[in-house]
Amino acid sequence: MASFLPTLSSADVQQAARLIQQSYDPASARRLSPEDQRRLQSELFELQRKWEAWGLVVPFLEHTDPNVQFFGAHTAQVKISRDWQSFPTERSEELISILLNVTGRSIALTRSKVILRKLFVALSALALRLVPQDPPLWPNWIIATATALSNAGASAEYILDFLEIAVEEVNGADLLPPKRSQMLQTLTDAVPVVTQAIGASIVPSTDPAAVRQLQSALKCLEAWIPNLPSSNMTPLLPRLFALLDPAAPAFEPVVSAILAILSSPAFADGAGSATLTVPLLQWCAQAGPPIVSTTLRDGPDETASALCRLLAGIGDHSTTYLAENLQEPLVQTFLRLMLAFTSLPGSYGADEEESERTLGFWYLFQEALWAVEFTPETIVREKEMWALAKAVYAELVAALRAKVRWPIAPTGWAKDQVDRFTVYRRDVGDTLINAYYVLRNEMLAYYLNDITERLSKKNEAGGWEEVEATLHCIMSIQEAVPLDPSKHLSRLFSPEILGQLPTSGTHRVRRTALSLIGSYASWFTTLPTGSTEPLLAVLGYVAPALSDSALCLSAANALRDLCDANRVALAPHITAFGELHAGLSGVLDTEKAKVLQSISSVIQALPPEEEVPPIEAIVQPVVAKLLQALQSSSQARPPLPDDARALAIQQLQTLSGVAKGLTRATDATGFDDSPLADEMALMQRARDDPRMIRLRDDMLRAIQGTVELWSTDAGVSEALSDLFKSITALSTDATLISLPPAPLLELVCRAAQRQLTAVWLALANMLVVQMNPSVPFTASLRSTPSQEVLTIVRDVLNVLLRTTLHALGVEGAMEANPDIVQDFFNFMEKVSYHFVAVFYQLPRESFDALVRCAVSALALQERYSLVAASTFLSALIKDTQASDDLGDVKRLLLDAHGRAIMYSLLAGFAGASPKSAVPNLVELFSALITKAPLESKQWIVEILYGDDFAQSRAGLEAKDALVKAVFGGSRSVKRTRDAVRQFTIVARGQEGSNFGYAW
């Protein structure tokens, strides 16, 4: 029977079987060390790679050990899927016969379903090899296999299992469109037989064998649904509905099958309302209420969970039908069932898991309600629909308010349960937004009435959970509430409600109240000019919480948001913020930065000259503390004590906060630059104030000292990075304490020389751009840098180039430090864009070393590093050729390095570079052949046809096609890209697969 397959001796088979038993038998595996287990796995892998492994399939399947049997089935699949190139195709029919025989015999011997399913996978893999041919080598393979298995005595249960595996394997196969079309056609041809087999098995029964057959049929149906037209599914629906018996063992599998039908392409967009939606609604109306009643009494069980999943599936599929027929009793019953599951008693994650499943429906339902179209003649029906919709969503809002209530402490919950409930509350918040779009102000009114009533009955003994839940709901809908004057929000922040909230203890409700205030910070901008009482009231609630360690974070965030959004309204009250600044001693050091950022936001709304005294008052002490930390650390033995380091980080973070607060709230852009010019003049006059000059000098001195002493510390370098980003700005956005980029670039160089990290290179990238800012309102133009600026940039470039190349010159350093590589070339790309001439002022050996480093990076396997190097080289080529100031030196780059760049690109296309980076390499390739077409053609021919070119599967035909496509006829970026894509696919041996054509 298997004469063409290798025949192994009994001893060889037994030896291979022992390897499997040693590796997979639990008793043996426990005695093996991890090294022995890896060795055995490696030996088994090597065994499967050999041609002789074909000879193990049949003997292994006849073995008595299930592990060996499974390995035999697995070997058949692996040899077909992975090693098909070595199989003699003319023996395909014999292989089909062998696999069908061993599968039929395995079924007859009642082998484990795990082994049988692996054999079904092997048969499907063989079909994927033989069917997509011209002509097909195994036509009608599904029907032929099912027939062969049936003739071998296989019951319908096993044939249905095969049909399930077959469709899953075909649908999941990676095939090119023509071959995929051939395989899908075999599925289409088999549809009548498949649906007949499924239909014959979908019958109620209590016989164990019939129940197993039914479950196989349901799984088979679920797998085939994406490939079944509605005409084949519709006849099956009544049989499925007849099986929807909550007391039957097949209830959950039937629900899963119906859910697959509801989400199938054949019934997309709510299709099948008469044959699918209405019968299901009728069943839900009859069977749903008893299940819900039991659930409310005893808690959810598997039946209730299955019903909830079915309701959610119906809701997803039939949303439009439900919205258009809201007045129908069936629809209203369905909505009552959904509400019942949404509002299940208890806490989500602790007492029930079902309520979360229903949340998505309320979003879809709200969208569907909005989409319902009415004619002028149906205005009454429209009003009735919205009245019903509001009634439904009013119940939903009340139910969800109860569901987000925290249980009374102590809950006894573990941290993961607390986290799950927190996420659930956030998801409920998203659902409440959709409810707001239906109810609008009625929803706010309900919540405010609810909270007012609860506050009126509140005692001081505790139990603020109900109030906190309502506050959370109001906070959750903030993004949907219009930024308009609102009597409801005015009431919320009035003494009636805000004034009744606790101001001590009860941290959870106070924390939520603070977050609520912060979320509505922008609403206070809608108050009439001069009406600042509500704003001052909420500030009065926030400020005392700053001194409470449990609330300081929330209070500081709320204060920052309030001050940032309402800086103009609060500016007249700057004295009060002075008092707040004076009381900072009670605020946690970790949150002082946010408080000072808040105060700075208000200061920014003052005229620049009036900003000077308060800025000096809040910044000078911070700088003094930073200098104090530096002094104490430099004198300490051992140096760098932790307390001084922590103090320095806090002061750096505080300076960052102040700088962020002083940044204008809106961008300085527009078409009329006259007001901006006036503002810049006023700001410059204030910056020239001796007090501000002295303050900036002190800041720079403190920063310099910090860099000298602590730049190698990760925490300090991170704080410095944030400060540098906050303290620098373009001239149009300069503040009183903005520092120029040049001295900071010098500090970056010093820090990088001590310890090169991506932090310093990223800062250099940011700061070098500020050395040559674009002219305001003409962003497309580049200003011409002065000679002084060019000198500074050249010196910075020299230092960072020497430092980085020295660090990356160590073997393996580029692979080990992808962040440094990426930010280094990003920095170089920015220098090229703004100051390309400085590259050609470098010593020749430095310039050559830089380009060689970039070329070698084109072979890195880490994509972002490679892309950064490619982008830099592309920019350098383009910027060099576009410059009018370089003269003959333009030729230096391509004359010295053009061929090396081209070699790396072609090698990358052939497989040296990751495929995901090839589109980026194409950009560099296009730049090279565009700027040097004649040289590029010569280089490509020399490299592609050279003996030293990278090994690949690209033969002469593929190489000829690339050269012809790139240089033959008209040249375009698209044509070049397509040519490189085809060459890459061929060179990497990925022809004939979707993966090969995926970019």
Cα–Cα distance between 239 and 235 in angstroms, integer? 8
For residue 387, the 8-state DSSP code is H
Say whether the peptide bond before residue 638 is cis (omega within 30 degrees of 0).
yes
Supply 484's token pair: 């308009």
Q: What pLDDT does 631 receive?
A: 87
Supply 850's token pair: 């830089």
Handedness of CA 289, 292, 298, 300 (dihedral sign): positive
SS3 content of the chain, % helix, strand, coil (to 5): 75, 0, 25
Enumerate residues 6+ apart whose C-beta is below 8 A from 842. Answer: 794, 797, 798, 801, 850
The lowest-confidence range among 319-323, 379-383, 859-863 is 379-383
Mean local confidence (pLDDT), 873-877? 97
Q: What pLDDT does 672 receive?
A: 45
Is residue 269 scored above 80 in pLDDT?
yes
- The answer to whether the CB of 712 falls within 8 A of the CB of 754 is yes
Residues in the chain: 999
The amino acid occupying position 417 is: Q
899: left (phi over 0), alpha (psi -120 to 50) or beta: alpha
Give the start-end residues of each E strand in 574-652: none
- The answer to whether the CB of 752 falls within 8 A of the CB of 761 is yes
The amino acid occupying position 757 is: T
Cα–Cα distance between 124 and 415 in angstroms, integer? 46
Q: What pLDDT does 579 receive?
A: 87
Cα–Cα distance between 918 and 926 in angstroms, integer? 12
Burial zone of 930 (CB within 10 Å; 0-12 exposed, 13-18 middle, 19+ buried): middle
Count the neighbouring beta carbons within 10 Å of the beta carbon of residue 974: 7
Is residue 338 scored above 80 in pLDDT?
yes
User: First-to-last CA distance in the chain?
Assistant: 45
For residue 275, the 8-state DSSP code is I
pLDDT digits (tens, 9 = 90+) for 959-970: 999 999 898 767
- The answer to whether the CB of 230 falls within 8 A of the CB of 276 is no
pLDDT digits (tens, 9 = 90+) for 481-498: 999 999 999 999 999 999
Residue carrying the six token digits 């970039």: 854
Cα–Cα distance between 471 and 520 in angstroms, integer? 12
CA nearest 991: which of 983, 582, 507? 983
Cα–Cα distance between 143 and 100 in angstroms, integer? 13
Cα–Cα–Cα angle for 760, 641, 709, rounded to 5 degrees: 35
- The answer to whether the CB of 233 falls within 8 A of the CB of 225 is yes
For 47-68, b/e burial (b = at least 16 CB within 10 A) is bbeeeebbbbbbbbbebeeebb
Residue carrying the six token digits 């599929």: 317
pLDDT digits (tens, 9 = 90+) for 160-169: 999 999 999 9
Using DSSP, state whether 348 is helix, strand or coil.
strand
pLDDT digits (tens, 9 = 90+) for 36-90: 778 888 888 888 888 888 999 999 999 999 999 999 999 999 999 988 988 998 9
Mean local confidence (pLDDT), 827-847? 96
Q: What pLDDT does 285 receive?
A: 97
352 strand-pairing partners: 348
Q: What pLDDT does 992 receive?
A: 62
pTM of the model: 0.85
The amino acid occupying position 624 is: A
pLDDT digits (tens, 9 = 90+) for 610-626: 999 999 999 999 999 99
pLDDT digits (tens, 9 = 90+) for 670-690: 434 567 788 889 999 999 999
Handedness of CA 192, 194, 200, 202 (dihedral sign): negative
Alpha helices by DSSP H, listed for 243-328, are 251-262, 278-298, 302-317, 319-324
Enumerate residues 6+ apart whose C-beta is below 8 A from 26. Answer: none
- The answer to whether the CB of 342 falls within 8 A of the CB of 403 is yes
Cα–Cα distance between 465 and 411 in angstroms, integer? 13
For 596-611, b/e burial (b = at least 16 CB within 10 A) is bbbbbbbbbbbebeeb
pLDDT digits (tens, 9 = 90+) for 886-933: 888 889 999 999 999 999 999 999 999 998 999 999 999 999 999 999
Supply 501's token pair: 């909230």
Q: What pLDDT does 644 receive?
A: 87
CA 457 → CA 345, 481, 524, distances in Å?
24, 28, 29
Q: What pLDDT does 736 receive?
A: 96
Percent of the chain past pLDDT 70, that is, above it, reads: 95
- The answer to whether the CB of 944 falls within 8 A of the CB of 959 is yes
CA nearest 219: which of 250, 241, 191, 242? 250
Q: What pLDDT does 30 receive?
A: 66
Residue carrying the six token digits 């048969």: 123
Is residue 1 scored above 50 in pLDDT?
no
Q: What pLDDT does 45 receive?
A: 83
CA nearest 613: which of 585, 651, 575, 656? 575
- The answer to whether the CB of 170 falls within 8 A of the CB of 184 is yes
On the CB side of 713, CA atoms within 13 Å amount to 18
Is residue 2 scored above 60 in pLDDT?
no
Supply 516's token pair: 């609520």
Q: What pLDDT does 869 receive?
A: 97
Cα–Cα distance between 36 and 28 in angstroms, integer? 11
Cα–Cα distance between 648 and 641 in angstroms, integer? 11
- Dmax (CA) of the chain: 101
Cα–Cα distance between 925 and 661 in angstroms, integer? 46
* DSSP-assigned states of every residue in 322-353: HHHTTTSHHHHHHHHHHHHHHT-SS-BTTTBS
The lowest-confidence range among 50-54, 183-187, 282-286 is 50-54
For residue 679, the 8-state DSSP code is H
Supply the mean pLDDT for the chain: 91
For 620-653, b/e burial (b = at least 16 CB within 10 A) is eebbebbbebbeebeeeeeeeeeebbebbbbbbb
Cα–Cα–Cα angle for 290, 201, 253, rounded to 5 degrees: 40
Cα–Cα distance between 560 and 657 in angstroms, integer? 10
For 352, list phi and psi in degrees, rounded to 5. -160, 155
Rg (alpha carbons) of the chain, rounded to whole number = 36
Enumerate residues 6+ apart whose C-beta is below 8 A from 895. Answer: none
On the CB side of 32, CA atoms within 13 Å amount to 18
pLDDT digits (tens, 9 = 90+) for 523-579: 999 999 888 899 999 999 999 999 999 999 999 999 999 999 999 999 999 999 988
Residue carrying the six token digits 């008052």: 617
Mean local confidence (pLDDT), 342-347? 96
Q: What pLDDT does 460 receive?
A: 56
Cα–Cα distance between 643 and 663 in angstroms, integer? 31
pLDDT digits (tens, 9 = 90+) for 760-810: 999 999 999 999 875 444 444 556 888 999 999 999 999 999 999 999 999
Supply 774's token pair: 């674009």
Residue carrying the six token digits 């087999």: 197
- The answer to whether the CB of 496 falls within 8 A of the CB of 452 is yes
pLDDT digits (tens, 9 = 90+) for 359-412: 999 999 999 999 998 887 788 889 999 999 999 999 999 999 999 999 988 888
Count the neighbouring beta carbons within 10 Å of the beta carbon of residue 370: 11
For residue 405, the 8-state DSSP code is P
For residue 774, the 8-state DSSP code is P
pLDDT bracket for residue 998 (50, 70, 90)? low
